[in-house]
Chain A
Amino acid sequence: MAIKPRVKVPKSAKVGDTIQIKTLISHKMETGLRKDKKTGKKIPRQIINMFVAKFNGKQVFQAKMYPSISANPYIAFFLKVPEAGELDFTWTDDSGKTWSAKKKLAVS
């Protein structure tokens, strides 16, 4: 499914504020434990194993994921705003495919 990841960041915040950032990506998160009912063979693992958030090029959040994470993973985290800048989110799955999203954050 080629869908854009969904990211929610407040448009502006004060320096030093703690803001919540929400992300949601559509992915089937195949565990690698299921079998194909027709052939009896295992369906290979295909999950998003890494999520990284960067702020102005500096990593601020990282999550490693394992097979117990359900489909369409929703990740929310908090960030203390140091300055205005751009958030850069990257998801990587087992096949090496990446999805990315960018959001600008202004300070007031």
Chain B
Amino acid sequence: MNIRILTGGIAALTALGISIGGALAAEGKKHSIKPVAGSPLEEVWSGYRFAKPTTNQMQDDDFENPGMTWYDIGEANWSKKDGEAGKSCAECHKTEDMKGVGARYPIVDPKLNKLMNVEERVNYCRKTYMEAKPWKYDSNDMLGTVIYVKAQSRGMPVNVKIDGPAATYFEKGKKFYYQRRGQMDMSCAQCHEKYYGKLIRMNTLSQGQSNGFPVYRLKWQKPGSLHRRFKGCNKQVRSTPFKTGSDEYMALELYLAWRGTGLGVETPAVRN
């Protein structure tokens, strides 16, 4: 019985994959690729492959994609002067220079010797150079700016550094991923590595790839950061979530990005 369900599920997914894959080949986007060496996955699938075609249609059309309204906020924020120093992002950075940031981050900053994601980087710039108040992770300003920055790298393959100073964070993230936690005693791997593609109640379990974040989630009716998603997952296994921007989540973000190495950046993706 179990085997029948399994084959049925795989057949259905493969059929889905072929139909979507055919449409996307023309656009040159990659939603399923071979994993990086050392990955436990047989094939890396973007969340795009788990979403409904109607949801994907929303994502593919820049106009219809509701996440793009936040892109507009980010675009406005980019040249807006703020803080005591009266500077804007645009005074130091060209928008074109942001190309590749979304694929490269999180990185270990050599000067600060600290793992940083885009949100952290934005707040660091705000504090140090603009002398402005840091933004909260899920404020509209932060989401908009991060979407604006990461969207510049759309389609570029995710490629994070995990050697050198990042190695310790990588190990920490890996440990977090396989650590059972909460009342349900579940680890990330159980849903997103062992049983992806299967239903959990009415939702299809994805591989939990981070290439589309911040995503516009239909359930949230607004975009949300990756750390907000982590918190949601942690709550669902009935464990106490960590804080947004905590070292644990930062390390997990790095590990997750590595698992999705080669997937195109899809920010702002639309998910259910």
**A-side interface residues toward B, CB under 8 Å?**
1, 3-4, 6, 8, 22, 24, 26, 28-29, 70-72, 74
Contact = CB atoms under 8 A, between A and B. Distances in A.
A62 B221 CA distance: 24
B208 to A, nearest CB: 25
Q: Which secondary structure dominates chain B's binding surface?
A: mixed
A71 B222 CA distance: 8
A3 B72 contact: yes
A54 to B, nearest CB: 21
A72 B221 contact: yes
- Going nearest first, the 5 A-B pairs with the smallest beta carbon separation are A71-B221, A72-B66, A26-B69, A8-B63, A22-B63
Interface residues of B, number: 11
Interface string B221-233: 1100000000000
Contacts of A24: 63-64, 66, 69
A3 B64 contact: no
B61 to A, nearest CB: 9
Select the residue from B64, B66, B72 with max chain A CB neighbours within 10 A. B66
Interface of B: 63-64, 66, 68-69, 72-73, 140, 218, 221-222
Contacts of B140: 1
A6 B221 contact: no
Contacts of B222: 28, 71-72
A28 B222 CA distance: 9
B69 A3 contact: yes
A8 B68 CA distance: 13
Given A8-B63, A24-B64, A72 B218 contact: no
Contacts of A71: 66, 221-222
Given A26-B66, A70-B218, A72-B221, 18 more contacts: A1-B73, A3-B69, A4-B72, A6-B63, A6-B68, A6-B69, A6-B72, A22-B63, A22-B64, A24-B64, A24-B66, A24-B69, A26-B69, A70-B221, A71-B221, A71-B222, A72-B66, A72-B69
